[in-house]
Amino acid sequence: MSGSEAVRGRGGVLAAPMGVEARALLRGRTRGTTVVRTGAGARPANPVETGGPLVVAGVCGALDDALAPGDVVVASEVRGADGHVRPMPGAVLLAGALRRGGHTVHLAPLHSAARLVHGRAARRRLAATGVVAVDLETAPLLAIADAAAALLQGAEGAVAQAVRVVVDTPRRPLLRPATVSAGLRALRTLSAITPVLEDWLATIAPRTAVLAGPRSFCAGVERAIATVERALERDDGPVYVRRQIVHNAHVVADLESRGAIFVQELDEVPERSTVVLSAHGVSPAVRMEAAERHLTSIDATCPLVAKVHVEARRAAETGRTVVLIGHAGHEEVEGTVGEAPGTLVVETAADVAALDLPDPDGVSYLMQTTLAVDEAAVVEQALTARFPTARGPAGEDICYATSNRQQAVRAVADETDLVLVLGSPNSSNSRRLVEVAERCGTRARLVEDAGDVDLHDLARARSVGITAGASAPPQLVDELVTALRGLGPVDVREVSVTREDLTFELPREVRHP
């Protein structure tokens, strides 16, 4: 265990107030990280004054019985007994890594009290302020570390994080026999999470964040979300949405919190209810079923998807064989196939080679709107080489937003070590952005949000490209940049390849008079 000389050294430090906590960290460490015992209580005897990165780790008391001994509290902010609030912008990255390690994690405010907090009433009053756990030392230790960072480095504050493991709860107070077993459990957890704390320390460095432009919501997504919002405002009863309105978990969760009810199929919707059909489009069979169930259906299909539907119908009506370049099973593809039964779906050049058509001269081909432009071009070339008389779409099928975001991510990938694409795993356009970046020779990852970012990826990257799929909310980008600032100084700049100003009119059912 390191003494005062090591405390004044450089490099990342794991700081624990009590000896048993420091020993737990020592048992768990894998990299020889400096571990410091700072001393228990609100006036630490051996504080960390390096100005370097710091994790304050130890045990705590929970203020809510929803927490249990062994749960991990990652401080989103630390509130001192004097009322000072210290934000912890990198907390979401550490909390995500700990969750992926199988730990029960609470990302929430932590309070450092001037003295031990006893009794359910006192804990209840403190919990009412929004904090979930209490200790004595974290706020004083961070204040000293921040002052040292300002003095030694001219920084506004130390790069720091606070992690505490629950020992006692209101229902299981500290002064009882069971505290011994709860304490042992907490210390075992503290040892188990130490390698992740070391991983977090290994990410600390100055970085450049390069934002791709355009990114995030496109006009079709904005229209679909606004359609559900207007329906919720308009209807007194429940509003149902068939499938995800757009492929993003954050969008769906937000609309659910406002009252939208998401279902897979229409048989889950009570008759005579309101249902919104997703932006990906549906087949005529779905619309027919909605009519048979006397549902008030509001079609939020993206107009650019609807364009492909129209072309598919027209080609089929003239007796031509429709070949759709796209991903089988995707909702947009299912809707297009439903518009022109008998449509053949191809994803690769090999799929084209396997086609056996009765009339090779009567082929019309279309494309899913969210494909990777360069990959789709390869399949299109194979198709036109095999069927020279094949008729292509009237204008581009791959939508402007997909093309623009792919062009932007190429520009960003060329000058960064790592590209992070914000989007859900079932988002086709988001997954294509990852593939485009990888084809540029750059490491790329699809992440739902900042909490999904792998610390090992960040440890190897000094320049990070950031973009978001067309269905990902723009605030996710802001949250990710804020989280990166919790790892050290970040120089943020944008590479924009074009500007987008397209808007789509809402469905007539939800337009304001």
Could you tell me if 8 and 88 lie in one domain? yes
**Which residues face 2 on adjacent strands?**
36
Is 321 contained in some domain?
yes
**Per-residue confidence band for 51, with pLDDT thresholds at 50, 70 and 90:** confident
Dump strand ranges (E) for 382-481: 418-422, 443-447, 463-468
Cis ω before 214 (30° cut-off from 0): yes
Q: Which of 328, 362, 386 is the last residue of a domain?
A: 386
Concerning whether 137 is annotated as a catalytic residue, the answer is no
**Per-residue confidence band for 178, with pLDDT thresholds at 50, 70 and 90:** low
Contact between residue 13 and residue 36 where contact means Cβ atoms under 8 Å apart: yes
Q: What separation in angstroms does the CA of 432 have from each of 140, 206, 322?
A: 47, 29, 24
More confident residue, 491 or 9: 491
Could you tell me if 432 and 470 lie in one domain? yes
Could you tell me if 193 and 252 lie in one domain? no
Is 381 contained in some domain?
yes
54-90 pLDDT, tens digit each: 999 999 999 999 999 999 999 999 999 999 999 999 9
* Rounded Cα–Cα distance for residues 352 and 347 (Å): 8
> What local confidence, expressed as pLDDT, does residue 5 receive?
36
Q: Which of 145, 169, 202 is the last residue of a domain?
A: 202
Dig out the tokens for 280 from the structure: 């990906």
Number of folded domains that form the chain: 4
Is 310 contained in some domain?
yes
Could you tell me if 251 and 368 lie in one domain? no
**Per-residue confidence band for 187, with pLDDT thresholds at 50, 70 and 90:** very high
Is 391 contained in some domain?
no
Residue 416 is part of a domain; what is its CATH number?
3.40.1010.20
416-455 pLDDT, tens digit each: 999 999 999 999 999 999 999 999 999 999 999 999 999 9
Element (DSSP H or E) covering residue 321: strand 321-325
> What's the maximum distance between 2 C-alpha atoms anywhere in the chain?
86
Could you tell me if 91 and 239 lie in one domain? no
Residue 249 is part of a domain; what is its CATH number?
3.40.50.11270
> What local confidence, expressed as pLDDT, does residue 469 receive?
98
Torsion of CA 282, 288, 290, 294, to 10 degrees: 160
Among the options 289, 332, 339, 347, which is catalytic?
332
Could you tell me if 159 and 269 lie in one domain? no
Is 395 contained in some domain?
no
457-509 pLDDT, tens digit each: 999 999 999 999 999 999 999 999 999 999 999 999 999 999 999 999 999 99
Is 392 contained in some domain?
no
Give the angle 446-248-503 at the CA atoms, nearest 5°: 110
- Write the DSSP symbol of residue 510: G
> What local confidence, expressed as pLDDT, does residue 8 receive?
40
Find the range with the poorest average confidence among 227-231, 395-399, 491-495: 395-399
CB atoms within 10 A of CB 185: 17
> What local confidence, expressed as pLDDT, does residue 3 receive?
42
**Per-residue confidence band for 394, with pLDDT thresholds at 50, 70 and 90:** confident
Dump strand ranges (E) for 9-168: 13-16, 34-37, 54-62, 72-79, 85-87, 105-112, 133-135, 160-168
Could you tell me if 71 and 146 lie in one domain? yes
What is the domain extent for residue 366?
A: 304-386
Q: Which of 360, 386, 412 is the last residue of a domain?
A: 386
Could you tell me if 197 and 92 lie in one domain? yes
Report the pLDDT averaged over residues 18-41: 96
> What local confidence, expressed as pLDDT, does residue 175 receive?
62
Could you tell me if 165 and 290 lie in one domain? no
**Amino acid at the residue 454:** D
Residue 198 is part of a domain; what is its CATH number?
3.40.50.1580
Could you tell me if 346 and 406 lie in one domain? no
Report the pLDDT averaged over residues 93-106: 98
> What local confidence, expressed as pLDDT, does residue 11 receive?
58
> What local confidence, expressed as pLDDT, does residue 513 receive?
58
> What local confidence, expressed as pLDDT, does residue 155 receive?
86
3-state secondary structure of 170: coil
Reply yes or no on whether the pLDDT at 318 is more than 80: yes
User: Cβ contacts of residue 66 below 8 Å, gap of 6+?
Assistant: none
Could you tell me if 70 and 52 lie in one domain? yes
Is 358 contained in some domain?
yes
* Rounded Cα–Cα distance for residues 373 and 253 (Å): 30
Could you tell me if 373 and 439 lie in one domain? no
> What local confidence, expressed as pLDDT, does residue 426 receive?
96
Dig out the tokens for 375 from the structure: 């990959």
Is 353 contained in some domain?
yes
When the pLDDT of each residue in the chain is averaged and rounded to a whole number, the result is: 95
332-352 pLDDT, tens digit each: 999 999 999 999 999 999 999
